[in-house]
């Protein structure tokens, strides 16, 4: 199968109540990629600057992640993000963001990736998301993320992107902001009215909800005391979901519900350590063992 992700590849600095990580590998596409790689091979498309450290390139190199779509742009600088979490880690503040190469022309999809069957457009300008989609053969399952900035400043572009994709994975605050609805079921239905055939609303430690035209599914987060750094949880969730959908080759409601479980499990690994330290080590067996543990927990006679 063939799963393509495009999004940020960056250098993060993060402060949580459990410590700090300075200038570590991050970015939405990177978290997504490592989470998805536990389920299926991944094609990564993104741009970094000439300052991108060699040791990060080595970390990215994995036989499960194809880096043919990773462009190193000379004369440009890599995306940087610095964030600080609240004491309960449910909120975070962006202390600094330097778009650098992300503010320039988008990446090109290599011809060999045009036949990708599942595509995740991680958070970026919605016009750029459609530009990426236009470089693919079509007929793929396309899913996007977005953020408060684009909901506020690029509402029309975002509406166009939502009409072009099959699914959207966003968090609760974004769903409410996008639709003006306080009730999350109503918000989800309003997102479906904008075009996609499924929407997933992530609720952090309160789990996630999937809506299709004729179903609503809600699941809790994987219960854990071991939370060191929530960075990348959302992107890892999307990676686990779409990695599974690519592996199983279907996206009907039953598959989407099973994918919801894989997304939850992938996010639960990522938050156990800083940066990619934990999720990078997760093999298919580890993921399946936790999926089994979680589904046992959800089964109530
Ligand atoms: P998440 O915690 O799932 O929202 O993902 C966090 C990752 O998103 C971090 O590794 C950041 O490098 C990256 N990130 C933060 N802000 C942006 C942005 N405006 N555009 C693209 N990526 C971002």
- pLDDT, one tens digit per residue, over 37-90 is 999 999 999 999 999 999 999 999 888 999 999 999 999 999 999 999 999 998
Distance from Cα 214 to the centre of ligand 1, integer Å: 32
Using a 6 Å cutoff on CB, does residue 33 contact ligand 1?
no
Looking at every residue in the chain, the average pLDDT score rounds to 96
- Whether residue 14 contacts residue 82, with contact meaning beta carbons closer than 8 Å, is answered with yes
Using a 6 Å cutoff on CB, does residue 234 contact ligand 1?
yes
Q: What is the pLDDT of residue 1?
A: 72
- Residue whose pair of structure tokens reads 């977005």 in the numeric block: 146
68 phi/psi in degrees, rounded to 5: -60, -20
Residue 2's pLDDT band, with cuts at 50, 70 and 90, is very high
Check pLDDT > 90 for residue 138: no
Q: Tens digit of pLDDT for each residue in 262-299?
A: 999 999 999 999 999 999 999 999 999 999 999 999 99
CA distance 225 to 270: 13
Sequence-distant (≥ 6) Cβ neighbours of residue 104 within 8 angstroms? 47, 73, 76
Domains of the chain: 3-296 (3.40.1190.20)
Average pLDDT of span 241-260: 97
CA distances from 34 to 236, 258, 270 (A): 8, 19, 9
Nearest atom of ligand 1 to the alpha carbon of 80: 12
CA distance 30 to 194: 28
Using a 6 Å cutoff on CB, does residue 26 contact ligand 1?
yes
Distance from Cα 92 to the centre of ligand 1, integer Å: 11
Average pLDDT of span 34-38: 97
Reference 7, options 47, 55, 51; nearest CA is 47
Distance from Cα 21 to the centre of ligand 1, integer Å: 15
Using a 6 Å cutoff on CB, does residue 233 contact ligand 1?
yes
CA distance 266 to 270: 7
Q: What percent of the chain has pLDDT over 90?
A: 96
Residue 236's pLDDT band, with cuts at 50, 70 and 90, is very high
Average pLDDT of span 20-39: 97
């Amino acid at each position: 199968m063939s799963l393509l992700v495009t999004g940020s590849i960056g250098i993060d600095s993060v402060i949580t109540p459990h410590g700090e990580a300075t200038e570590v590998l991050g970015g939405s596409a990177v978290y997504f990629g490592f989470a998805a790689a536990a389920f299926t091979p991944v094609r990564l498309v993104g741009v970094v600057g000439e300052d991108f450290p060699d040791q990060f390139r080595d970390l990215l190199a994995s036989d499960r992640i194809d880096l043919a779509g990773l462009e190193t742009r000379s004369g440009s600088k890599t995306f940087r993000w610095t964030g600080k979490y609240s004491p309960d880690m449910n909120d975070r503040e962006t202390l600094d963001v330097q778009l650098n190469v992300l503010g320039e022309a988008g990446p090109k999809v290599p011809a060999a990736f045009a036949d990708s069957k599942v595509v995740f457009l991680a958070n970026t300008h919605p016009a750029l998301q459609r530009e990426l989609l236009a470089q693919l053969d079509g007929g793929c399952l396309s899913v996007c993320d977005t953020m408060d900035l684009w909901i506020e400043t690029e509402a029309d572009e975002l509406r166009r992107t939502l009409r072009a994709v099959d699914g959207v994975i966003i968090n609760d605050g974004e769903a409410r902001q996008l639709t003006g609805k306080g009730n999350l079921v109503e918000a989800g239905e309003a997102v479906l009215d904008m075009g996609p055939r499924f929407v997933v609303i992530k609720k952090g430690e309160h789990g996630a909800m999937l809506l299709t035209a004729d179903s609503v599914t809600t699941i809790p987060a994987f219960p854990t005391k071991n939370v060191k750094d929530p960075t990348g949880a959302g992107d890892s969730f999307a990676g686990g979901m779409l990695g599974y959908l690519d592996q199983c080759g279907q996206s009907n409601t039953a598959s989407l519900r099973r994918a919801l479980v894989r997304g939850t499990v992938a996010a639960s690994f990522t938050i156990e350590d800083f940066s990619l330290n934990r999720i990078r080590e997760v093999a298919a067996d580890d993921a399946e063992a936790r999926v089994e543990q979680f589904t046992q927990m959800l089964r109530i006679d």
